[in-house]
Amino acid sequence: MKILVLNAGSSSLKYRLFSNREEAAGGVVERIGEPEGVKDHMEALKIAEREILSSGIVKRFGDLDGVGHRVVHGGERFSRAALIDSSVLEALKELVSLAPLHNRANIEGIETMKKLAPGVAQVAVFDTAFHQSLSEEAFLYAVPIEIYREFGVRRYGFHGTSHLYVAKEAAKLLGAPLKELNIITLHLGNGASACAIEGGRSVDTSMGFTPLEGLVMGTRCGDLDPHIPLFLQEKGLDAAKILNSESGLKGLCGRNDMREVERMAQEGDEKAILALKIFVRRVKKYIGAYNAILGRVDALVFTAGIGENSPLVRSLCCEGLEGLGFVLDEERNRNLRSVVSSHESSVKILVIQTDEELDIALQTEALLREDRL
Ligand code: AMP
């Protein structure tokens, strides 16, 4: 099947074309809506179209079997991917209030594609869907229950496609059915989240009502005392901007790129050393918490930009966890092996490359086949 995967953000459009599950073309159009940049998603998709057609796999968008869209927020309505029809599109519009920036851009991507290739099936794959298996005790916050009922304030969790993808890959690597495994997955990229997966189902995750909760990220603060934003607002500051865009590693040491943070730390920069320590401490807290939630952990998976590429972060995250059964083999860790735990480790520690777009293509393909039956 020929599947185009689109990840439409507010200022960028990422695209990848898969032909029989192999990548055939791909790229990113940036600076959408900026004065010197690309006008809108229509113009961005036309740029992408030229690149895609030049691959020779399709002569026109109409030849595609389907388009898979990464959609950030599926609320409580979507616990799996959905074939997009007018009722799904309507539901996505209703969900805009939960993720204004992201979902609006995703809808724009869908509507633009519909104009360019009206007959091609489109599928929405949600970042939140995998976490819809969370129980009430995991997804409810301890606030008046009416706030959940009226406004949908609850833990949704994000990065679901990535957590599930690497969990499935971990099961393959371990040669065991996913159903029989308990896994902690750590998606450590510019955005970062942890997930506790029991028998293939997400049972807890660190991101919450929005992607702001949980781990320390490139520019997001992660967990903090919930009164802090109120206090900042009282001081006349823009709490949303500070906590989303000026916090995390960037807020602590001026850089949001972990490579630079590591370089600065190695040169003795005290702010960078502290930022790294705070980042790692938060990850360790979640490993401990999910260890307690799962009771038994078979595998710990590191993925995304930092998780896949930073032996230092992996090493620091596992330091002191030997008593809990997490024992890293430093040599394997440095040499970027997929299994980086030592033989005496009761938990397999794995490094697995995430591929959200490939998984979106696979989910799109599966749904289209189901639909044709
Ligand atoms: P992602 O959001 O998954 O693309 O990940 C981006 C993050 O991965 C950035 O903070 C990068 O600095 C980080 N990253 C990429 N390569 C490395 C590396 N070799 N060492 C440390 N961090 C890295």
Cβ neighbours of residue 367 under 8 Å, at least 6 residues apart? 81, 82, 83, 123
Q: Any idea what the Cα angle at residue 70 is, between residues 68 and 72, rounded to 5°? A: 150
Assess whether 76 and 209 both reside in one domain.
no
Assess whether 190 and 320 both reside in one domain.
yes
Assess whether 95 and 238 both reside in one domain.
no
Any domain includes 297: yes
Pocket test for ligand 1, best of 207, 220, 259, 354 (most atoms within 8 A of CB): 259
Any domain includes 137: no
pLDDT at 372: 76
Ligand 1 centroid to 256 CA: how many Å? 10
Assess whether 113 and 203 both reside in one domain.
no
pLDDT at 256: 95
Ligand 1 centroid to 304 CA: how many Å? 7
Domain carrying residue 249: 175-351
Number of the ligand 1 atom closest to the C-alpha atom of 262? 21
Lookup: tokens for 347: 């938990």
For every one of its 373 residues, what pLDDT tens digit does the chain have, with 9 covering 90 and above? 999 999 998 889 999 999 999 999 999 999 998 888 899 999 999 999 999 999 999 999 999 999 999 999 999 999 999 999 999 999 999 999 988 878 899 999 999 999 999 999 999 999 999 999 999 999 999 999 999 999 999 999 999 999 999 999 999 999 999 999 999 999 999 999 999 999 999 999 999 999 999 999 999 999 999 999 999 999 999 999 999 999 999 999 999 999 999 999 999 999 999 999 999 999 999 999 999 999 999 999 999 999 999 999 999 999 999 999 999 999 999 998 899 999 999 999 999 999 999 999 999 999 999 877 7
Q: Sign (positive/negative) of CA torsion 366, 368, 371, 373?
A: negative
pLDDT at 36: 87
Ligand 1 centroid to 260 CA: how many Å? 10
pLDDT at 213: 98
Any domain includes 274: yes
Assess whether 197 and 284 both reside in one domain.
yes
Pocket test for ligand 1, best of 185, 249, 258 (most atoms within 8 A of CB): 258
Q: Is 305 in the pocket of ligand 1 (CB under 6 A)?
A: yes
Any domain includes 364: no
pLDDT at 154: 98
Assess whether 103 and 194 both reside in one domain.
no
Which residue pairs, CB below 8 angstroms and at least 24 apart, start in 137-142? 138/203, 138/204, 141/208, 141/209
The dihedrals phi and psi of 304, each to the nearest 5 degrees, come to 75, 175
Assess whether 196 and 332 both reside in one domain.
yes
Q: What is the pTM of this model?
A: 0.95
| Last residue within a domain, chosen from 85, 111, 126 | 126
Ligand 1 centroid to 211 CA: how many Å? 18
pLDDT at 101: 79
Assess whether 205 and 272 both reside in one domain.
yes
Assess whether 230 and 335 both reside in one domain.
yes
CATH number at residue 195: 3.30.420.40
Domain count, the chain: 2
Any domain includes 155: no
Q: Is 309 in the pocket of ligand 1 (CB under 6 A)?
A: yes
